[in-house]
Chains A and B, each alone.
Chain A
Amino acid sequence: MSSNYYFITILRFVFLILAQILLCNKIAFLGFINPMIYILFIYWYPIKQNRAIFIFISFLLGFTIDIFSDTLAFHTAATLTIAYLRPVIMRFCFGVNYEYQSFKISSATWIQKITFLALLIIIHHAVFFTLEVFNFDNILLISKKIGAVSAASLLLCILFSSLFSVKKE
């Protein structure tokens, strides 16, 4: 991991926050669908890094988004949760071989990649909207929001990641 890698990670961090707050938070498709593309940060983050640092960076990411969109700490809790659960989700999607040194996300099949991304998004949105609505009487509203926004986020994340994907050597 060269300094170049840190540079790319920081760039991603800033770029995804700006894309989220200046573009995606203004979409409001059908009045309530604001896709969340900053989840790609969790998706792109290197696998073999120190987990504690990763969890802490995710906390910062969510917290920054929260401050900008005035939703104090919903994004933080949701991002933190998927950051913590990421190894479990990866084992589920890629099997045990993700623990080997040679494994790269880019070498997995596209079904595996999309499952991984979809699981991250669904768990994130489930935590997010439960906290936002904060009332289990409105379970229908929660599930409607989770379903609709997850679909939009997934679509936009796939488009973004294919747009900015690292070329395969």
Chain B
Amino acid sequence: MQQIINFIFRNKNLLLYLFLLLISLGLTIKSHSYHQSKFFNSANWVSGGIYKTSNNITGYFNLETENEKLVQENIRLRKLLFNKEYNSETPIDTVVLDTSKLAYTIISAKIIKNSYANLDNYITLNKGAKAGIKQDMGVITPNGILGIVENTSNKFSRIQSILNRRSNLNAKLKNSDNFGTLVWDGKDYNTVQLIDIPRRVPIKVGDTILTGAASSIFPENVLIGSIKKFDLDPSKSSYKIDITLFNDMTNIKNVYIINNKNRPEIEQLETNTNNVQ
């Protein structure tokens, strides 16, 4: 007994080191295999608050370019609006919609922390559960998709960026409706990869890639990027396509969070079907 206690006293630093290392390795393995911890992430109130404060200051620096982007988007949307079928009963700048039947609702938010230099990137937004944001909602910018909500706290939420090795989205070619899986290999923050497009599909450099219909997170036909180059994968049966993103991932500020009201129903249906099988 005496010897055991002596041993512990002699090696207390080593034991403390090993104990703490074990904790951190445990967390590391957990973060590589599943969603990161619900509490220990940048969307908690301390880190979220600090990022928000810093963002309140730096947010003014590129207001001009940010306004320009929003004006561009408004121009695009107005074009769509004015080119809709003309109806004499409603004024030209008004659209009559029954909002209770809309499948998608949209929440706007600002990015307070962006990262793109790591292999698994996360983005923090300045709105959270209070604003109605929930896990697994899609996040887009005026130029294209950005990621999926992974965690929310009351006032902040954390997005798993498409620049994340766990990111796995359904995407399709604009012309042919063939769909594949959008992944990221961690090398270049402007390029993502589309895999599983069959070999017989005709593709060429410059083709546009959109989100596919198989996902209940994003609406169909949200912009992603254009084909940069393509190669057959080692099995020679499908393509591995490099895609240049329309988004400049280093310079984004305003984002939209998309809520699909039909998603619970779709998921329910899918689990039911799986259970039957």
Contacts and interface: CB of A to CB of B under 8 A. Distances in A.
Interface of A: 18, 21-22, 25, 28, 31-34, 51-52, 55-56, 59, 62-63, 66-74, 76-77, 80-81, 83-84, 131-134, 141
Interface string B5-48: 00000001110110011011111101110001100111010010
Interface stretch (B111-119, B174-182, B194-202, B235-243): B111-119
Nearest to B250: A28
B189 interface: yes
A68 B117 CA distance: 15
Main secondary structure of the interface of A (DSSP, over half): helix
Contacts of B115: 25, 69-70
B36 A72 contact: yes
Contacts of A31: 116-117, 188-189
A81 B14 CA distance: 11
B127 interface: no
Given A33-B117, A70-B41, A80 B28 contact: no
A84 B14 CA distance: 8
A73 B158 contact: no
A153 to B, nearest CB: 13
A21 B47 CA distance: 10
Interface in B82-133: 115-120, 122, 124
Contacts of B28: 72-74, 77, 131, 134
A22 B58 CA distance: 10
Contact of A72 (B31, B47, B51): B31
Interface of B: 12-14, 16-17, 20-21, 23-28, 30-32, 36-37, 40-42, 44, 47, 50-51, 54, 115-120, 122, 124, 158, 186-189, 250
A18 B20 CA distance: 24
A68 B47 contact: yes
B117 A73 contact: no
Q: Which interface residue of A28, A68, A133 has the most chain B CB atoms within 10 A? A: A68
Nearest to B40: A67
A76 B12 CA distance: 19
Contact of A55 (B13, B50, B188): B13
B121 to A, nearest CB: 8
Given A28-B117, A56-B16, A68 B42 contact: yes
B54 A72 contact: no
Nearest to B44: A67
A93 to B, nearest CB: 20
Contacts of B250: 28
Contact of A73 (B12, B13, B31, B44): B31
A55 B16 contact: yes
Nearest to A83: B17
Closest 7 CB pairs of A and B: A73-B27, A70-B122, A76-B24, A73-B24, A77-B24, A28-B117, A84-B17
Given A52-B13, A55-B17, 8 more contacts: A52-B16, A56-B20, A67-B47, A69-B118, A73-B24, A73-B25, A76-B27, A131-B25
